[in-house]
Amino acid sequence: MPDIWKLVRENVKGITPYSPGKSSKEVMEELGITRVTKLASNENPLGPSPKAVEAMRAEIENVYIYPDPTWADLRAALGELHDFDPEGIIIGRGSDEIIHMLGTSLLNPGDEVIYSTPPFALYPFTATVMDCTHVKVPSTGPRGMDHDLDAMSAAITDKTKLIFVANPCNPTGTILTREQVDEFMARVPDHCMVAFDEAYFEYVQSPDYAETLQYARDGLLTITLRTFSKAYALAGLRIGYGFAHPDVARAVKLTCEPFNAGLISLVAAQASLGDPGQVKRAVDNNEAGKAYLYGEFDRMGLEYQPTEANFIFVEVGMDSKECFDQLMRRGVTVRTGDIFGFDEWIRVTIGTPDENQHFIAALGEVLGK
Ligand SMILES: Cc1ncc(COP(=O)(O)O)c(C=O)c1O
Spacing, Cα 1 to ligand 1 middle (Å): 38
Pairing of strands 160-166, 112-117: parallel
Which residue among 123, 164, 170, 308 has the greatest number of ligand 1 atoms within 8 angstroms of its CB, and so is best to mutate?
Answer: 170
Taking the CA of residue 96 as reference, the ligand 1 atom at the shortest distance is 9
Residue 198, ligand 1, Cβ within 6 A: no
Residue 96, ligand 1, Cβ within 6 A: yes
Pairing of strands 311-315, 240-244: unpaired
Taking the CA of residue 170 as reference, the ligand 1 atom at the shortest distance is 1
Taking the CA of residue 230 as reference, the ligand 1 atom at the shortest distance is 10
Provide the pLDDT for residue 35: 83
pLDDT in tens, 268-305: 999 999 999 999 999 999 999 999 999 999 999 999 99
| pLDDT class of 107 with cuts at 50, 70, 90 | very high
Q: What is the mean pLDDT of residues 260-268?
A: 98
Spacing, Cα 365 to ligand 1 middle (Å): 31
Q: What is the mean pLDDT of residues 195-221?
A: 98
Spacing, Cα 316 to ligand 1 middle (Å): 25
Residue 272, ligand 1, Cβ within 6 A: no
Residue 311, ligand 1, Cβ within 6 A: no
Whether residue 19 is predicted with pLDDT greater than 80 in this model: the reply is no
Q: What is the mean pLDDT of residues 248-276?
A: 98
Asked if 300 and 367 touch (Cβ cutoff 8 Å), the reply is: yes
Taking the CA of residue 240 as reference, the ligand 1 atom at the shortest distance is 11
> pTM score, two decimals?
0.96
Beta strands per DSSP E along the chain: 37-38, 89-92, 112-117, 133-138, 160-166, 193-197, 222-227, 240-244, 304-305, 311-315, 332-333, 335-336, 345-349
Which residue among 38, 95, 311 has the greatest number of ligand 1 atoms within 8 angstroms of its CB, and so is best to mutate?
Answer: 95
Tell me the one-letter amino acid at 92.
G
pLDDT in tens, 307-363: 999 999 999 999 999 999 999 999 999 999 999 999 999 999 999 999 999 999 999
Q: What is the mean pLDDT of residues 65-76?
A: 98
Asked if 214 and 60 touch (Cβ cutoff 8 Å), the reply is: no
Spacing, Cα 228 to ligand 1 middle (Å): 10
Spacing, Cα 226 to ligand 1 middle (Å): 8
Whether residue 29 is predicted with pLDDT greater than 90 in this model: the reply is no
Provide the pLDDT for residue 18: 75
Whether residue 194 is predicted with pLDDT greater than 90 in this model: the reply is yes
Q: What is the mean pLDDT of residues 158-183?
A: 98
Provide the pLDDT for residue 25: 84
> By C-alpha distance, which of 88, 133, 140 is closest to 110?
133
Question: What does the mean pLDDT of the chain come to?
Answer: 96
Count of other CB atoms within 10 angstroms of residue 27: 20
Provide the pLDDT for residue 24: 81
Asked if 203 and 169 touch (Cβ cutoff 8 Å), the reply is: no
Provide the pLDDT for residue 319: 98
pLDDT in tens, 122-142: 999 999 999 999 999 999 999
Domains and CATH numbers, the chain: 4-47+277-367 (3.90.1150.10), 50-275 (3.40.640.10)
Provide the pLDDT for residue 326: 96
Q: Give the whole-number percent of the chain exceeding pLDDT 90.
A: 94
